[in-house]
Amino acid sequence: MSMLIQVVLDGIWSGLLYGLVAAGLSLIWGVMDVLNFAHGEFLMAAMYVSFWLGFLFKLDPLVTWIAAGAFLFILSVLSYKLVVKRTMGKAMAPLLATFGLSMLIKNFAMNRFTPNFRILSDTVMDGKSIIFGEVVIPVPQFVVGIFSLVVLGALYLFLTRTRFGWAVQATAMDAEAARLMGVNTERIFLLVFGIGGACVGVAGGLLPSYLATHPDIGTLFGLIAFMVVALGGFGSIPGALLAALIIGLVESLAGFYFAPVYKYVAVFGIYLVVILVRPKGLFGW
């Protein structure tokens, strides 16, 4: 029994992390119809920010997530201005452009920082865990989970309870109509892209407390984030959270009770089934 609780909890932590990583992607897609292919690399960039601050100035990821979030906000805004804005509305163009951007970021990291794995040791949360009898709760994953809930909650409230959030929703539904109603859609796009990047920045800022940083780290996370977004319904924050939890739990349960090597098979399998049965995703419209 305690094993089941352990496995379910592990699934929840992974799920919450995936949710935090995917939130920005979902927001950007929902509002702008742009699939940011560089999302995984944004995560990697944030991890490097946090790693270097930790390595050079001995700052803990518990603090540097702020810097990583801010840096990613700026990086995202620049990406929007320089890449996305010029390609939006031209069929596949934004997709290909952000794909190019992902290559650029990844190879920049490879060139500047080498492909070495970089591990932050002696962080505040490093290797700590809370033990209840047989059940172990790893502190870093737990804290990332809390952050995920807070960030997703804040994002949801922001979108549904504020004037700016309504404007974002209006823009998402029909950008032209929103523009006619006096919404500055250009500003909305810019901020949405920035906020989306900042969300993944927070995730990336926290991750070096237990994950090695290297230029390839974003690839699988990026892929899972796409799945979360597609599964939850494009643009839906609660959908993303639910989908992320499903993916985390499927991964963990299949990994433990079936075979670890099939955990991603199970995850992608569920995804295929959902997409076949309900192409718009669980919460999509």
Partner 1 sequence: MKRTLLAVVAIVLLIAGAGAQDKVIKIGTLFPLTGSVATAGQRCQAAVETIVDIINGIYPDLDLPIAKKAGLLNGYKIELIKADHQGKPDVAKSEAERLYEQEGVFAVIGSYNSSASKPASAVAERLQKIFMCGASSSAALTERGLQYFFRLAPTDRIENVEFAHWIEELNKVKAAGIKTAAVIYENTEFGKHAADEAKVVSAKMGVKIVADVPFTPGATNLNSEIQKLKAARPDALFAAVLGADYSLMIRTMKQSAWKPKMAINYCGGYQDPKIAEQMGKDGWGFMGSAGYTPEFGSRFMKAVAPVEKYYKAKVGVPFDTEKVAQVLRTTTFDSPLSMGGKVQFGPDGQNIKAASVISQLQNGSYVTVYPYEFKDGDPIFPMPNW
Q: Does 216 bind partner 1 (CB under 8 A)?
A: yes
* Residue 154 and residue 198 in contact, taking contact as beta carbons nearer than 8 Å: no
Instruction: For residue 128, give every residue at least 6 positions away whose Cβ sits within 8 Å of its Cβ, in sequence order, or none.
Output: 138, 139, 140
Distance CA 134, CA 74 (A): 44
Rounded alpha-carbon distances, angstroms, from residue 226 to 8, 36, 219, 232: 23, 9, 11, 10
Size of the site for partner 1 (CB under 8 A): 48
Q: What is the 3-state secondary structure (H, E, C) of 42-72?
A: HHHHHHHHHHHHHHHHCCCHHHHHHHHHHHH
* Burial (CB count <10 Å: 0-12, 13-18, 19+), residue 97: buried
Rounded alpha-carbon distances, angstroms, from residue 259 to 220, 231, 254, 262, 265: 19, 23, 6, 6, 10
User: Pick from 89, 153, 260, 269: which binds partner 1 (CB under 8 A)?
Assistant: 260
176 DSSP 8-state letter: H
> In the bound complex, what is the minimum distance in angstroms from residue 178's beta carbon to partner 1?
37
Taking the least distance from each CB to partner 1, the nearer of 164 and 262 is 262
> In the bound complex, what is the minimum distance in angstroms from residue 241's beta carbon to partner 1?
17
Q: Please name the amino acid found at residue 101.
A: L
Residue 118, SS3 per DSSP: strand
Concatenating the DSSP letter of every residue in 228-267 gives HHHHH-TT-HHHHHHHHHHHHHHHHHIIIII-GGGHHHHH
User: Pick from 48, 80, 221, 234: which binds partner 1 (CB under 8 A)?
Assistant: 221
Q: Which of residues 110-149 bind partner 1 (CB under 8 A)?
A: 110, 114-119, 121-122, 127-129, 131, 136, 138-141
Q: Does 256 bind partner 1 (CB under 8 A)?
A: yes
Q: Does 269 bind partner 1 (CB under 8 A)?
A: no
Q: Which of residues 5-34 bind partner 1 (CB under 8 A)?
A: 6-7, 10-11, 13-14, 17
User: Pick from 212, 268, 275, 282: which binds partner 1 (CB under 8 A)?
Assistant: 212
Residue range at the interface with partner 1 (CB under 8 A); choices 63-71, 88-96, 182-190, 214-222: 214-222
* Residue 240 and residue 22 in contact, taking contact as beta carbons nearer than 8 Å: yes
Taking the least distance from each CB to partner 1, the nearer of 164 and 257 is 257
Taking the least distance from each CB to partner 1, the nearer of 118 and 179 is 118
Distance CA 223, CA 113 (A): 23
Taking the least distance from each CB to partner 1, the nearer of 194 and 205 is 205
Query: Would you give the binding string for partner 1 spanning residues 55-94, x where CB under 8 A is met?
Result: ----------------------------------------
User: Pick from 179, 219, 282, 284: which binds partner 1 (CB under 8 A)?
Assistant: 219
Taking the least distance from each CB to partner 1, the nearer of 164 and 258 is 258
Q: Does 210 bind partner 1 (CB under 8 A)?
A: yes
**Among candidate residues 106, 109, 145, 144, the one with its CA nearest the CA of residue 123:** 144
Which residues are near partner 1 by CB under 8 A? 3, 6-7, 10-11, 13-14, 17, 110, 114-119, 121-122, 127-129, 131, 136, 138-141, 210-212, 214-217, 219-221, 224, 251-256, 259-261, 263-264
